[in-house]
């Protein structure tokens, strides 16, 4: 039994799953565009605040962020994507001690 | 070729011929030898396998999952507490539909501590979404291990192949093996359903599925198990056609004219066959049912074969601790519920922690069943034990 169907036909765009029969075998998602639509940053309790003045562009935060939420433009860190950042604080921990360009703050809800 | 091999050696030999991409394992009695022997095949360059000696059975199954999700053929072996420690990961392997093959050498679960055979370890994993096939002897273990690869890869379900600890795992037997080429051509190339390392086609594996979608995933997985028997039949049939060796889903021994039957799994079926022969010699019409496939439940086979019996004794190598018998008893009994005529069914728990069972004891069970067959079912004590002091 290979794939039992494909949930991403045009007609089925509105709803992620119409029926179990449309699911790909094995709890996986091939259509990564759909994954992007699923904003996973909504349940954050701490928020990383990035300081442009202090940042030395070492990329440590970008390398360690488990959610790819550190934004890089033209080879420079430019901020955090709060749509997906889950507030784990790894970036703040990994940012060099002497630099401390990221601090964690309580999320305002 | 004919060889003398213990159950563990037979499985290790089958694994060598399968030549899996990855074997990740942690040793535990009585399954240790399987991976120990296999690791020497790796060291001697007889297989191409990446051997991962991990720090626990939880990690062994985790590594197999990662390997299988990356498109590799992955195998491991364990027993008892090791299988219990894997428990969390068993559900992940099946939920991700990864065709891993796990050889379980059946052993009692602690406490109290015991290293000998009963079926508590395998049966306690029965709801984890794995196919489970029990083997009587080393030959069946060898043949089933090879078939398991193909069953797993056709059904995209993981498969457990079990043998009885020490009784089979450590007993030398005569087995016939296939040539390496025959095994290779039978199992063929593994065509994974997906490959996590394929960077051209990225996927998200095991995403969070909340109340709006988790249910559908489980329903789809259930369908996999609903269809699994078909793949087992297909693979066993092909194995017989190619190598003239028959593997059963439910093997029957002198059951045609039998009113009285015993059903059991694993090595005890060999002992029970002697009991049947002895009683047949004395003119008793008794028969044996050896259930090989416990997951999925072989409903059609059980119904067809058991419905015409007058009385059935289910020999269960596990104390279900349910106050209503063990899983083998309850599931077989439930399968027969819709039959208008169905046998009286009695549970016989036996052999816990490696307690020996003899042909004489099984003969006594048959004689007891014969004496009960015309009694009213509500008057019969259903839960019995063999040789407990
Ligand atoms: S808090 Fe965590 S998720 Fe958010 S940007 Fe930092 S490392 Fe990434
Ligand atoms: S780790 Fe700190 S200094 Fe380095 S790029 Fe990130 S924010 Fe800038």
Tell me the pLDDT tens digit for each residue of B27-71.
999 999 999 999 999 999 999 999 999 999 999 999 999 999 999
All residues of chain B having their beta carbon less than 8 Å from the beta carbon of residue A29 are: 203-204, 207
Pairing mode, strands A70-73 and B286-291: unpaired
The mean pLDDT of B66-86, rounded to a whole number, is 98
Position A39 scores a pLDDT of 87
For residues A27 and B51, what is the distance between their CA atoms, to the nearest angstrom? 27
Q: Report which protein residue has its CA nearest ligand 2's atom 4.
A: A58
Position A25 scores a pLDDT of 87
pLDDT at A17 over 80: no
The mean pLDDT of B98-106, rounded to a whole number, is 98
Size of interface A-B (CB pairs under 8 A): 65
For residues A95 and A101, what is the distance between their CA atoms, to the nearest angstrom? 7
Preferred mutation among B129, B157, B216, B296 to probe A, highest tally of A CBs within 10 A = B216
Same fold for the domain at B2-243 and the one at B250-385? yes
For B235, which DSSP code? Answer: H
Report the candidate in B36, B30, B57, B34 with the shortest Cα–Cα distance to residue B117: B30
Position A18 scores a pLDDT of 80
Per residue in A21-46, pLDDT (tens digit) is 988 888 888 888 877 888 889 889 99
State the Cα angle at B136 between B135 and B141, rounded to 5°: 45
Cβ neighbors of B350 (< 8 A, separation 6 or more) are: B268, B315, B316, B317, B357, B361, B385, B386, B387
Report the candidate in B207, B155, B218, B224 with the shortest Cα–Cα distance to residue A30: B207
Any atom of ligand 2 within 6 Å of the Cβ of A90? no
The mean pLDDT of B105-131, rounded to a whole number, is 98
pLDDT classification of A15: cutoffs 50, 70, 90: low
Position A10 scores a pLDDT of 41
Structure tokens at A77: 């860190």
Rg (CA), chain B: 21
Average pLDDT over chain B, rounded to whole? 97
Residues having CB closer than 6 A to ligand 1 are: A 48, 65, 67, 69-70, 80, 85-91
CATH number for the region A40-106 comes to 3.30.70.20
For residues B41 and B6, what is the distance between their CA atoms, to the nearest angstrom? 17
Every domain of chain B and the residues it spans = 2-243, 250-385
CB-CB under 8 Å, A17 with B97? no
The mean pLDDT of B196-211, rounded to a whole number, is 90
CATH 3.40.50.970, applies to B2-243: yes
All residues of chain A having their beta carbon less than 8 Å from the beta carbon of residue B95 are: 26-27
Chain A residues in contact with chain B using a Cβ-Cβ cutoff of 8 Å: 1-4, 16-17, 19-21, 23, 25-30, 32, 35
> Side-chain half-sphere of B1: how many Cα atoms within 13 Å?
12
The mean pLDDT of B100-121, rounded to a whole number, is 98
SS3 A74: coil
pLDDT at B339 over 90: yes
Closest partner residue to B216 among A2, A17, A32, by Cβ? A17
Structure tokens at A108: 């305002």
Structure tokens at B251: 């093997």
Position B31 scores a pLDDT of 98
For residues A45 and A9, what is the distance between their CA atoms, to the nearest angstrom? 36
The mean pLDDT of B153-182, rounded to a whole number, is 98
Q: Are B171 and B6 in contact (CB under 8 A)?
A: yes
pLDDT at B300 over 90: yes
Tell me phi and psi for residue B260, to 5 degrees.
-120, 125
pLDDT at B196 over 60: yes
Report the candidate in B287, B285, B258 with the shortest Cα–Cα distance to residue B272: B287
pLDDT at A4 over 50: no
Every domain of chain A and the residues it spans = 7-37, 40-106
pLDDT at A2 over 50: no
Per residue in A59-92, pLDDT (tens digit) is 999 999 999 999 999 999 999 999 999 999 999 9
pLDDT at A3 over 90: no
Per residue in B134-152, pLDDT (tens digit) is 999 999 999 999 999 999 9
> Side-chain half-sphere of B258: how many Cα atoms within 13 Å?
28
> In the CATH scheme, what architecture does the domain B250-385 have?
3-Layer(aba) Sandwich (3.40)
CB-CB under 8 Å, A35 with B204? yes
Closest partner residue to A26 among B193, B209, B212, by Cβ? B193
For residues B248 and B70, what is the distance between their CA atoms, to the nearest angstrom? 32
Cβ neighbors of A64 (< 8 A, separation 6 or more) are: A90, A91, A94
């Amino acid at each position: 039994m290979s794939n039992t169907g494909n949930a991403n036909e045009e007609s089925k765009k509105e709803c992620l799953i119409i029926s179990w029969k449309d699911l790909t075998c094995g709890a996986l998602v091939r259509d990564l565009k759909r994954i992007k639509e699923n904003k996973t940053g909504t349940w954050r309790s701490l928020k990383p605040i990035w300081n442009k003045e202090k940042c030395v562009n070492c990329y440590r935060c970008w390398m360690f962020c488990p959610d790819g939420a550190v934004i890089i433009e033209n080879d420079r860190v430019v901020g955090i994507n709060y749509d997906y950042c889950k507030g784990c604080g790894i970036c703040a921990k990994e940012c060099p001690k002497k630099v401390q360009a990221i601090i964690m703050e309580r999320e305002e809800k | 070729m004919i060889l003398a091999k213990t159950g563990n050696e037979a499985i290790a030999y089958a694994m060598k011929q399968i030549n899996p991409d990855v074997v990740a394992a942690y040793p535990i009695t009585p399954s240790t030898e399987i991976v120990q022997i296999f690791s020497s095949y790796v060291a001697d360059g007889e297989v191409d396998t990446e051997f991962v000696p991990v720090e626990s059975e939880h990690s062994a199954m985790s590594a197999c999952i990662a390997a299988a999700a990356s498109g590799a053929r992955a195998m491991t072996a364990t027993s008892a507490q090791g299988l219990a420690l894997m428990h969390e990961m068993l559900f992940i392997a099946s939920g991700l539909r990864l065709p891993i093959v796990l050889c379980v050498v059946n052993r009692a679960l602690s406490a109290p501590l015991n290293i000998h055979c009963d079926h508590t370890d395998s049966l306690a994993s029965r709801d984890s979404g794995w196919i489970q096939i029990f083997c009587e002897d080393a030959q069946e273990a060898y043949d089933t291990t090879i078939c398991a690869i193909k069953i797993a890869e056709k059904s995209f379900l993981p498969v457990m192949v079990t043998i009885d600890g020490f009784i089979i795992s450590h007993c030398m037997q005569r087995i016939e093996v296939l040539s390496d080429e025959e095994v290779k051509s039978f199992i063929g190339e593994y065509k994974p359903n997906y490959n996590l390392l394929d960077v051209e086609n990225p996927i998200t594996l095991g995403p969070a599925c909340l109340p709006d979608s988790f249910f559908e995933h489980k329903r789809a997985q259930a369908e996999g198990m609903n269809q699994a028997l078909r793949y087992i039949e297909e693979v066993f049939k092909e194995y017989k056609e190619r190598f003239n060796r028959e593997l059963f889903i439910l093997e029957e021994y002198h059951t045609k004219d039998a009113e009285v039957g015993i059903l059991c799994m694993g090595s005890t079926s060999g002992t029970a066959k002697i009991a049947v022969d002895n009683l047949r010699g004395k003119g008793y019409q008794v028969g044996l049912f050896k259930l090989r496939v416990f997951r999925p439940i072989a409903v059609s086979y059980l119904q067809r074969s058991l419905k015409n019996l007058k009385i059935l004794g289910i020999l269960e190598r596990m104390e279900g601790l349910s106050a209503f018998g063990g899983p083998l008893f309850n599931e077989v009994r439930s399968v027969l519920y819709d039959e208008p005529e169905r046998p009286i069914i009695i549970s016989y728990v036996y052999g816990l922690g490696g307690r020996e069972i003899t042909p004489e004891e099984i003969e006594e069970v048959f004689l007891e069943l014969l004496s009960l067959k015309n009694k009213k079912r509500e008057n019969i004590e259903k839960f019995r034990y063999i040789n407990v002091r």
